[in-house]
A and B are shown apart, each in its own frame.
Chain A
């Protein structure tokens, strides 16, 4: 004889409905987005699906999806908050599942029908109790079948997946041979306390966000708040439900039992299923709202990290990857605190978190346009984003002006520009802005000569732009036209290397062009010359502070080369906001909405950081930044790195 025992109570229904709906919606959405991947992205995914790249991908999924290392490094308390929610809840689910599996395994292998009679009265294995017999010390599965095979009766204990979630209810008393029972319940309580720690942080964050390293938190919509409330309620309700059960049957861990002992068993006896129902209901509500709120990030960010780490990149147009990015944003608001527009101009509407929300809500019209256009594209938020969403790329996409008829726009270039034979030489591209700072280009010429390097100053007289400013403003095919012209010019010349002085051009040549020759910024080039001892420099006794240009530092990751050069020729002082934290000079070409007064305010904030310690000069590596600071101050000389090196050349 075989008896099938199913743990079941009506209160699991809201949870079941929520779970089923959640996964149906999520899978539907994911399939839709995956079908929207571009051919290029599909190729990358297909070729890297099983490559070694999945190991760093999985590691980052664990590191950022569960441990939240990036946020921890930024602020310990904020990190603990995010980690407690993610890791705490994840472990509650996993440990709960393992615990129930272990308990049922023990039961299955140790209890046969022969012992049940004894066990029923003494050892009290309670799975479900409904109907006539309300004695919890009695085995009474909701449904059971009696199978007569060979006359021997055994109970088959089924373990539906929800048992782990409601384990304490379904297992009022563990089998005697399940000795780990106490350890498990204490561990589960510790995990619940861990989540409560996160909850406490979240509540502190509402009133005092600064202590968690956030000057300002995200303004959430009503739907998001509702969903957040249901999430917050899940854990207190779980505590309540487990405590009530612990009060009645003494199966709690150190925490739930302590809380449960405060209750009066006579009073709570009738309430047990009701509180479990509330807990299940809250889970159901949260699950149903999840795909439509910011909590969609929970699963999406893992997929995003995976796709990103195996090499998928954002493209000029909207692709499936874009949808993953938009939905991976948890609206944590980490991008707000660093934004110079928020810090300096008190503009609290245009930050990336709001851009993503508007895009996700499929807003159109002037509000979205205002958000998209008013941004310096300094990438300060991109380096902060805990899940690595390419925020500037999303903004560029939103600015896309579509296909513009460009026939006849640049036909004049062929006639005027001509070609140049520069075989074996280094091509030097000063960039538009360097024409306003002749000191930089002259210094570069001196450095080339000192290194005995033949070079071709390709835009000495005439410049066409690299195309990045047009690209940034969404005139995509116009920018492509310019890139085509420049590529032709460079490839035909036979130059061996391209050196640029302008970080804007540098990033464009490096990332948007597809040149066959290496592209370096002049800081990298000078660093190389010094290391190879092709130029000799002396070390002076000036103290300088270095401003990391956005496009060079955050844009291309060039932080060390300029520092090497400056350490070789002068005394470099550290500043509070440096490297990826550097404050944009305010004149980045990404923005067209800011007035000159607003740009000046941002510049002054940036300048204040550079001059917080006594310095003799301010050094930067971008003609734009140089020009910006030069306008601002007469107290400090503003120099480009090339100028500082040229001044200190020995030969």
Chain B
């Protein structure tokens, strides 16, 4: 855990400031269209990203269909669509 770099997490907070408001209630995952079919869970992805566990995240993120239900139900006004797109981009940009 000590070796975890939070650089990507900081980048994400910069690009999507509303992300800081998330209190992990899970409404987004509960309403998610992709969740109907798969284990896809934004809350889990979020936690992994925060912890610096990026393994397989890019594949997981591609399952999102950007339909926007999560953004609409979020009680904290987090721009989840922007969050997903930016996570994808950050993972892409910082790929080793």
Contacts and interface: CB of A to CB of B under 8 A. Distances in A.
Interface of A: 404, 406, 408-410, 412-413, 416, 432-433, 435-436, 461-465, 467, 469-470, 472-473, 475, 478, 482, 587, 589, 592-597, 624, 627
Contacts of B36: 461-463
B37 interface: yes
Contacts of A478: 62
Interface in B32-46: 33, 36-38
The CB with the most chain B CB atoms within 10 A, among A432, A467, A627, is that of A432
B77 A469 contact: no
A465 B37 contact: no
Contacts of B62: 404, 406, 409, 478
A11 to B, nearest CB: 58
Contacts of B33: 432, 435, 463-465
8 tightest A-B CB contacts, nearest first:
A596-B77, A465-B65, A432-B67, A469-B66, A592-B82, A465-B67, A462-B36, A592-B81
B91 interface: no
A412 B37 contact: yes
B66 A413 contact: no
Interface residues of B, number: 23
Interface stretch (B6-14, B47-55, B68-76): B68-76
B94 interface: no
Interface string B56-96: 00010011011111001100011101100100000000000
Contacts of A624: 68, 72
B75 to A, nearest CB: 11
A595 B79 contact: yes
The CB with the most chain B CB atoms within 10 A, among A404, A406, A412, A413, is that of A412
B66 to A, nearest CB: 4
B79 A596 contact: yes
Contact of B18 (A406, A461, A469, A596): A596
A89 to B, nearest CB: 47
B18 A595 contact: yes
B63 A409 contact: yes
B67 A627 contact: no
B67 A587 contact: no
Contacts of B77: 595-597
Given A596-B18, A596-B77, A473 B85 contact: yes
Contacts of A627: 72
A contact face: mostly helix, strand, loop, or mixed: loop
A435 B69 contact: yes
Contacts of A432: 33, 65, 67-69
The CB with the most chain A CB atoms within 10 A, among B18, B59, B73, B79, is that of B79
7 contacts: A412-B37, A433-B69, A465-B33, A587-B72, A589-B67, A624-B68, A627-B72
A464 B72 contact: no
A595 B77 CA distance: 8
B68 A589 contact: yes
The CB with the most chain A CB atoms within 10 A, among B66, B68, B73, B78, is that of B66
A477 to B, nearest CB: 11
A462 B37 CA distance: 8
Contacts of A416: 37
The CB with the most chain A CB atoms within 10 A, among B36, B65, B77, is that of B65
A589 B72 CA distance: 10
The CB with the most chain A CB atoms within 10 A, among B37, B72, B81, is that of B72
Nearest to B63: A409
A433 B79 contact: no
Given A408-B59, A433-B72, A595-B18, A469 B65 contact: yes
A594 B79 CA distance: 8
Nearest to A627: B72
The CB with the most chain A CB atoms within 10 A, among B59, B68, B81, is that of B68
Nearest to B38: A412
Contacts of B59: 408
Contacts of B69: 432-433, 435-436
Contacts of A412: 37-38
A375 to B, nearest CB: 13
Contacts of B78: 596
A354 B2 CA distance: 47
Contacts of A467: 65
Contacts of B38: 412
B79 to A, nearest CB: 6
A600 to B, nearest CB: 9
Contacts of A470: 65-66
Contacts of B73: 436
Contacts of A435: 31, 33, 69
Nearest to B84: A592
A531 B18 CA distance: 48
A473 B18 CA distance: 20
Nearest to B89: A401
A253 to B, nearest CB: 63
Given A436-B69, A464-B33, A475-B66, 8 more contacts: A412-B37, A416-B37, A462-B36, A464-B37, A482-B65, A589-B66, A589-B67, A589-B68
Contacts of B65: 432, 464-465, 467, 469-470, 482
A199 B73 CA distance: 53
Given A408-B59, A416-B37, A473 B66 contact: yes
A267 B89 CA distance: 71
A469 B31 contact: no
Given A409-B63, A463-B36, A592-B79, A433 B85 contact: no
A406 B61 CA distance: 11
Contact of B82 (A462, A465, A593, A597): A593
A627 B36 CA distance: 22
B85 A592 contact: yes
B93 to A, nearest CB: 12
